[in-house]
Structure formats: structure tokens, C-alpha cells
Amino acid sequence: MRRNSRRGAGLLLAVVLLCTAALFGMATYLATVAVGAARVQHQRDTVQCVYAAESGIELAMARANRGDIPAQPITGSVGTAFFTTQVRQADGKLVMVSDGTQQRPGRADLVRRIEVQCQRSGGSYFVTNWQPLPPPETTTIEPAPISPQEENR
């Protein structure tokens, strides 16, 4: 009778070890999937930033070709990303710098910056140099400080 109870204990131990190995395998798989999903989301956010920055450049080019070179920054949105494009004239050329920003709740905003140099020929501007630049140092907007008078209200 004792012999049978030992045999059952060995089978129970084998089942417990098999279940532990299966759970460890599933945990590893889920962690791998989560890391992959985070990478895909970061790549999607990066592409969205670049598209937004390029949209700002295209809008500024269209306005410049109509004779309306913007003195103030141009802002807008593309999908879930935003752009801010500044245009300046230098030596008969236009230099446009556009920032595409993707807001990411709980993390720093993702920013991609593009600089484009344009030259006028045949009545229209065309791109002579297109290059990515490092993003600006600060990418989040800090709330305005509260004055002492407002705190006491």
C-alpha cells in the first residue's frame, strides 16, 4: 500500500513541474509580445511626427508659391500629431524649419525636426536641401506659474 502512494507523489511532482514550465513559457511569451508592441507604437509615433513636420513644410511651400511668405509660425495637425513650421528668408532663399510633435501621455512628447532650404526659379520655389535636425531641447509645455494673488483666491 505504501508503494502506490509514493508512485502518486512522483506523478504529482511531475505535473507540478510541467505546469511551472508552461507558466514560465507563457510569461516569457507575453513579455516578448509587450516589448514588440511598444516598439511598433514608437515606430508609428515617429512616422506620425515626420509626416506632420513634412505637412508643415508643404503648407509653407504652397503659401510661399502663392506669394504669401508667412512671418508667423504655421501650426496645424495631421492625425494625432501636430506641427509648427517657421519660415525665414536668407540671401534670396527660403529656410523652413518644421517640428512634428506626437504627444504621449505619461512620457515625454516625441519630436522630429526637418530643415528645408528652397530657391526660387521660374516663379516657384523648389527644394535645394532637405535634412533632419536634432529635436529641440524642451518638448513639453510647462504650465504658467501661479501668482501669489491667484493662490489666495
Span 24-78, pLDDT tens digits = 999 999 999 999 988 998 899 999 999 999 999 999 999 999 988 888 999 999 9
Instruction: Confirm whether 121 is domain-assigned.
Output: yes
Q: Residue 125 and residue 94: Cα distance in Å, rounded?
A: 8
For residue 57, the domain's CATH number is: 3.30.1300.30
Instruction: Confirm whether 98 is domain-assigned.
Output: yes
Instruction: Confirm whether 148 is domain-assigned.
Output: no
Distances (CA, A) of 18 to 9, 11, 22, 26: 14, 11, 6, 12
Closest by alpha carbon to 127, among 94, 92, 91, 87? 94
DSSP conformation class of 143: P
User: Alpha carbon 4 to chain centroid distance?
Assistant: 63
Instruction: Confirm whether 107 is domain-assigned.
Output: yes
Per-residue pLDDT at 38: 87
Span 84-111, pLDDT tens digits = 999 998 887 899 999 999 998 888 889 9
The count of structural domains within the chain is 1
Per-residue pLDDT at 63: 93
Question: What is the pLDDT confidence band of residue 138, given thresholds at 50, 70 and 90?
Answer: low
Q: What is the mean pLDDT of residues 142-150?
A: 51
User: Alpha carbon 116 to chain centroid distance?
Assistant: 20
pLDDT beyond 50 at 141: no
The whole domain housing 41 covers 2-139
Per-residue pLDDT at 108: 85
Per-residue pLDDT at 4: 55
Instruction: Confirm whether 144 is domain-assigned.
Output: no
Are 96 and 118 in contact by the 8 Å Cβ rule? The answer is yes
Question: What is the pLDDT confidence band of residue 2, given thresholds at 50, 70 and 90?
Answer: low
Per-residue pLDDT at 3: 56
Instruction: Confirm whether 25 is domain-assigned.
Output: yes
Q: Look at the block and give the residue holding cell 532663399.
A: 93
Question: What is the pLDDT confidence band of residue 148, given thresholds at 50, 70 and 90?
Answer: low
Per-residue pLDDT at 7: 61
Instruction: Confirm whether 41 is domain-assigned.
Output: yes
Instruction: Confirm whether 88 is domain-assigned.
Output: yes
